């Protein structure tokens, strides 16, 4: 069955710990990891998000999970539609993470 491209926008929070490590958490998925640098944490959270989304798809739970967690599926790249609230603390910041997903026609 053909698949079309779709996108989701997730919120990734980065927080610097006292020991210098960075913790990265996807707010909507509850997925979390850490790295010795912010780049390391970002790479690891992107991998974790991909694995989480793939697992939801494999077990047939993606639609239910997205609905329960208010995750919107965009049919085109949502570049200008993204608005984020920025935390007030300097050691914490967030950024949007746009992930392409496949949709069955």
Mean pLDDT to the nearest integer, 79-87: 52
**What are the residues whose beta carbons fall under 8 Å from the beta carbon of 6, sequence distance 6 or more?**
73, 74, 75, 100, 101, 102, 103
Q: Which helix (H) or strand (E) holds 49?
A: helix 38-58
Mean pLDDT to the nearest integer, 37-47: 93
C-alpha closest to that of 101 among 69, 62, 67, 65: 62
**What is the structure's pLDDT at 6?**
83
Asked whether the beta carbons of 30 and 48 are under 8 A apart, the reply is no
Please check the confidence at residue 72 and state whether its pLDDT lies above 90.
no
Across 30-34, 72-76, 93-97, the highest mean pLDDT is recorded for 30-34
Whether the pTM exceeds 0.85: the reply is no
């Amino acid at each position: 069955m053909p698949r079309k491209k779709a996108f989701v926008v997730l919120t990734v929070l980065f927080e610097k710990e006292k020991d210098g490590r960075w913790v990265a958490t996807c707010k909507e998925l509850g997925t979390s990891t850490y790295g010795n640098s912010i780049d390391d944490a970002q790479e690891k959270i992107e991998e974790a998000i991909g694995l989480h989304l793939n697992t939801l798809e494999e077990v047939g739970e993606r639609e239910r999970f997205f609905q329960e967690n208010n995750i919107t599926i965009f049919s085109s790249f949502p570049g200008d539609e993204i608005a984020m609230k920025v935390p007030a603390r300097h050691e914490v910041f967030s950024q949007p993470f746009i992930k392409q997903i496949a949709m069955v026609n």
